[in-house]
Amino acid sequence: MQKKFLIDGLPESAASYRQGCVVVAVDVIRATTMAITAAALGRACYPVDSLDASFRLAQVLEGPLLAGEIDGDVPPGFDMNNSPAELSERSDISRPLVLLSSSGTRLIVNARGCDVLYLACFRNISSTARHLISKNYVRIALLGAGSRGEFREEDQICCALIGAQLVQVGYVPENETTITIMNRWANAKASDCLHSRSVDYLRRTGQLADLRFILERIDDLAETFIVQNGEVVKVKLAPRLNLELGPMAAD
């Protein structure tokens, strides 16, 4: 059977890929970077899709840390923004993270029910591709979260770079949209996202620490991450294959 992959964007798209499909959810700026950073540090992380879900979950967790944003603003009652840079500096790792964002966590929640749900960002491109290849999945959907109805450049880049490694072992793009994104971004660098509106937002709001965090940590994690029973967890590292799956270089 021919192995295929596709690239799509926005949280609403996830519902189309729940049956017979492995999903990789991507929100580089910033939800999947945040969730992966939390899990990599050993912190429990639970993505949610609404304020109500955030507070309901917080009631059953011990000492939860509420983090995130709605339309860029930190909701009342939350402890911090959706900031991987800030999270990485905190020492309270025992506090489980309840994570809410405008697009990224909605994508994650919408994708639940697919065969397996992975998370990816610039930090784990190669390890994610390697793990997907080792599992020999037949159909893979690489889904970017986007923002305000736009499939943002940083998410397209991340998806295309994973897709490029799938192509090396025989996976075929499933549709013209995927081919177009691959042709544009398969050889991209992390810094090619600098003209994204997401980056403009970080600049305008004085959150460049997160941009530096993202661009300075390219393929620095060897782990793969899935969502299991609502929690982001590390999975066993797939063995290295006899392929040239080198890390992406940043400018």
Q: What is the pLDDT along the chain (251 residues), one digit of tens a residue?
A: 899 999 999 999 999 999 999 999 999 999 999 999 999 999 999 999 999 999 999 999 999 999 999 998 999 999 999 999 999 999 999 999 999 999 999 999 999 999 999 999 999 999 999 999 999 999 999 999 988 889 999 999 999 999 999 999 999 999 999 999 999 999 999 999 999 999 999 999 999 999 999 999 999 999 999 999 999 999 976 555 454 444 433 33
d(CA 32, CA 37): 8
Instruction: Give the Cβ contact number of residue 59 at 10 Å.
Output: 8
The pLDDT value recorded for residue 147 is 84
Burial class (CB in 10 A: 0-12, 13-18, 19+), 223: middle
DSSP class of residue 41 equals T
Q: How many residues are there in the chain?
A: 251
In DSSP notation, 140-197 reads EEEEE--BTTB--HHHHHHHHHHHHHHHHTT-EE-SHHHHHHHHHHTT--GGGGTTSH
How far is residue 78's CA from residue 100's CA, in Å, rounded to a whole number?
10
pLDDT for 239 = 55
Please state, in angstroms and rounded to a whole number, the distance separating the CA atoms of residues 52 and 30: 21
3-state secondary structure of 94: coil
Tokens read off for 223:
């782990």
Which amino acid, 170? G
Rounded CA separation 3/202 (Å)? 38
Residue 1 contacts by C-beta under 8 Å, 6 or more apart in sequence? Answer: 138
Cβ–Cβ < 8 Å for 223, 237: yes
Give the span between the Cα atoms of 48 and 198, in whole angstroms: 21
- Residues 93/41, Cβ–Cβ less than 8 Å: yes
Residues 6+ apart with CB under 8 A from 246: 126
Prediction pTM value: 0.93
- Three-state secondary-structure class, residue 238: coil
Closest CA to 33 of 88, 77, 79: 88
Give the per-residue pLDDT at 240. Answer: 54
4-234 CATH fold: putative 2-phosphosulfolactate phosphatase (3.90.1560)
